[in-house]
Amino acid sequence: MSQSLPQNPQNPQTLADIVGLSVRMVRENALLMLRVLLLPSIASCACISISRLISAHWLKAPSADLAYTFQHIGALVLLLLIFSYAQWDLMIRGMALMRFCVGYANSYKEALAYTNRRLPALALIYSRAALLPVAVLIAGLGIGLYAFLFSQYAQILLTPCIVIGVLLSLSFIAAIVWSVLNGSLLLSVLACEDVSIRQIIQRSEYLSQTSFWRGGTFICFMGLVLVILSVALNVPLLVVIAFDQAFSTIAKTHNLVTLELPVYFEILTACWWGILNLILLAVALIADVLFYQDVRVRQEGIDISERLTRLI
């Protein structure tokens, strides 16, 4: 199995070059990505599909039997635990791929050994990176709701409310972009720099502040690319579902618009979404670490220092 990656760029790159290189790395090393990420990715999607089936079965219960309810709740809690473990395993493997892809490890196995050594730091950094955008989202929704209710109560004029709402929306979007950018740089610094947790946070804050506008553009551009890839890769699944609706008698007995799907569709969907999740995650993580590398080239001149080191 090949583990050869395109040479890590040592010069400043455009955002399109960074995203394009990440897609090329995933495509040229598809077997490595599948071997590393397939199992936890499919496990995560399978938990979601099974949870949907259990929820649909629970809602169709003829009576509110206590034992029946506890059985379903227990099954959902178990699936939540499995899903959480699969996501954690996915993050461990993803961080190892990030370190390997930018040349800080000679092999994926070596990168995974480094990641396992930094598990406590990864747990803290991953929690902050994941929870920060969620916290900003909740805070923004709370402020927006409070402003709306206050305007209704105080009978404030419509025009000032619209202006305040627009300003809050812009601030909220900027905060979300910054939190996502900071989270991606947190993981990238942890993957590439063997420093303390405090230094990781300080480094990510510094890189986020010095490259906010370009970083914000990168996050938006990367999100657009992931949406396009997701839509394109979902086309085969949508075609299969449309074909079944048009030519199969199953479409007459199952409501494909709600939670209810034929069992084989649930299996197909879980496997397909697992592969889709794998591709999108790999592209996003590699693009993040390539962007981190590009920021360091622009801000710290690591390309010059590495060339001087080779000359010495």
pLDDT tens for residues 130-153? 776 677 677 767 766 776 666 666
> Residue 256's pLDDT is what?
46
> Residue 117's pLDDT is what?
92
* Region of 301 on the Ramachandran plot (φ > 0 left; ψ -120 to 50 alpha; else beta): left
> Residue 10's pLDDT is what?
60
pLDDT tens digit sequence for 75-89 = 999 999 999 999 999
> Residue 110's pLDDT is what?
92
Q: What percent of the chain has pLDDT over 90?
A: 14
> Residue 6's pLDDT is what?
46
> Residue 286's pLDDT is what?
92
Q: Reduce the DSSP state of residue 6 to 3 states and report it.
A: coil
> Residue 81's pLDDT is what?
93
Q: Does residue 6 fall inside a structural domain?
A: no
Q: Does residue 217 fall inside a structural domain?
A: yes
Please give the C-alpha separations between residue 145 and each of 138, 150, 159, in angstroms, as whole numbers.
10, 8, 17
Q: Does residue 9 fall inside a structural domain?
A: no
Residue pointed to by tokens 């627009």: 166
The total domain count for the chain is 1
Q: Does residue 219 fall inside a structural domain?
A: yes
**pLDDT at position 221 over 70:** yes
Please state which of the ranges 135-144, 221-230, 263-272, 284-293 shows the lowest mean pLDDT.
135-144
Q: Does residue 36 fall inside a structural domain?
A: yes
pLDDT band, very low/low/confident/very high, at 5 (cuts 50, 70, 90): very low
Domain with 166 in it:
15-311
Backbone angles phi, psi at 169, to 5 degrees: -65, -45
Q: Does residue 3 fall inside a structural domain?
A: no
Q: Does residue 1 fall inside a structural domain?
A: no
Q: Does residue 117 fall inside a structural domain?
A: yes
